Structure 1
Amino acid sequence: MGKINVAIVFGGKSAEHEVSLQSAKNIIDAIDREKYDVVLIGVDKDGCWQVNEEDSFLLNEHDPKAISLKKTSSKIAILPGEKQGQVFDYETKEVLPQIDVVFPIIHGTLGEDGSMQGLLRTLNLPFVGVDLLGSAVSMDKDFAKRILRDAGIAVANGLVYKKFEQSNIDFNFVQSKLGLPLFVKPVNQGSSVGVNKVETKAEFDQAIAEAYMYDDKVLIEEAIVGREIECAVLGNDEPIASLPGEILPQTDFYSYESKYIDDSGAVLSAPAELTDEQTEKVQNEAIRVFKTLDCEGMARVDFFMKSDGTLIVNEVNTVPGFTKISMYPRLWGITGLPYPKLIDRLIELAFERHERKQQLKSAVFE
């Protein structure tokens, strides 16, 4: 049997574009070359898809602020086929090698919100990670909270306002409902993009304006006092959970800068200092959240743990970071699954789900 052709799709028309470039580089460095041939498909900030060369696809790769995708002349298009979609060079019309499986590592908008997953389903290509529905509801913090609450899973109290309701947002009313300080977030973003902690009306108004720059819905949340505990989940029908880790922010909160720019912005403690009972509780609750939101493949579940041990779900990340300091691969590493084996397992799960989907009937009369 020959090598498996893996298309790594990265970059994207997203505020998390630069994070995706870092994630892609680490996956490329870790993937087992005896098993896989890699096709790099970079998506620039305008949404244009292109084929990149491994040895030259990044500019300023060691500077997280200046890192960027190198432009190429090899623009691509994708043609849905009878069995699987085919990729070809837009200019030369040359057909590229058949892709066996896609590893999408575009974080945020159009990569983590079900858009990419819907495209790959339409193309009938196996892909790593959560399917369309789980991606969409997990990315939308509003709907994720509704679903989790309905399942009896604790989430932070909050208020959601759509763009047309912006003029109706009253600081005094919000404060009376949620107290101070508050967190203001775009509903559909990750990596703490557009997130601000506020304590005054002036800060609040500025944070609302910034959040609406990234999404049409804004979430205003109460501040939860507790430890920031994260747990990685892996699997389809029978998911398993890693040992938990803990974020120890050295700044006011775990911001985008703390995650990807400032090396001293946070300390990542893995495994977290928890009792066996607490560890098991986090793992069980992470799997419960994963299943409730219809996740498959992988996700990182982030909690606040209050002083009495109560767990509050903060968010679920269905395309977690794969940078050199990212918690998802790090947590599996300390749990006994090193980076290359983690990639193997994610690809196995992609094929497993795809084969299951192929068994479904697509016509009433055949």
Structure 2
Amino acid sequence: MKINAAVTSGEGKPFEIKDIELQEPKANEVLIRVVASGVCHTDMVARDTGITPKPAVLGHEGSGIIEKVGTGVENFEEGDHVVMSYVHCGNCEQCLSGYPATCEFLTPMNFGGKAQDGTHRHYEGDDELSMFFGQSSFATYAIAHEQNIVKVPKDVDLSILGPLGCGIQTGAGTVLNNLKPEFGTSIVIFGAGGVGLSAVMAAKIVNCEHIIAVDLHDSRLETAKELGATHVINGNKSEDVVEKIKEITGGGSHYAIDTTGVSPVVKQALQGLRPRGELAIIGVGSDFEMNLMEDLMAEGKMIKGVIEGDAVPKVFIPKLIRYYQQGLFPFDKLIKHYDFDDINQAFEDSESGETIKPVLKIGKE
């Protein structure tokens, strides 16, 4: 079938809205009319680097309505409202142990450019286009495996739900599923973007005593305070972020989350912990240096990577929606909508920090 899709032709190339061909859903797949799709930092990395083959149709925070189901689909039907999330095999030791976000095949399945069965779904003429995260939701229609879609209530605005599939799930899940801070503990979140602010809201849900947001933008720090941060630190204005954290918390935080992937910031997060403190890394970064004795081992600290908030999407996303409906998780305050044609502007505004969470409005409910 003919669809419209945002195609990036090479590393760092802007998106072009094109008419392309999308194949029909195969066994255990569904055809989804995309209503909206969030813009995530991972989309930027995929656009600008070689982690996904080009040309490609990106987008991995899609929401929409099922229009057709393939053979073997049992738990979904036409008309269902769904959120699309990451792909996992469902059969490896990690998946079967309840940790699909660390699936042994996570990287090739989400970034390799092909559907779960190893074939392509998107074509421009005779040329294959890479698929992304098993969905490629920067398009008017998407094909997804039933394993990586989540049914959501029809009385909730679909145009805000897409980011639950990755960024918001990652921030909130790192707090609620992985760190699991106890009542009255302290947590510092480095980076007050969509992921970090989702972590702030989650920390408020579990009643952390100190919820400290660190960022370079005062506007984002103001939003952090509105969403539950008890303290904020502007890294550009504070001479010593680590000492400020220790002053606020009385010796260091119990937990920290880094969403930036910036090595000096990661080191601040680690050094701001109290003995036996835990640091979760969820930002994409590269090389990192520290003194093993002084920064880690001597005080029994822990540093670990967390993917997709250790979430099982089919279980976790409905929980986040219930929190939202109860007024406890107002993630809609992070979102600014853009027309599909303005996709490049949405990316630019996200990179500059002007918009916390851009969401492209692609179709109607």
Q: TM-score when scaled to structure 1?
A: 0.29
TM-score normalised according to structure 2 size: 0.30
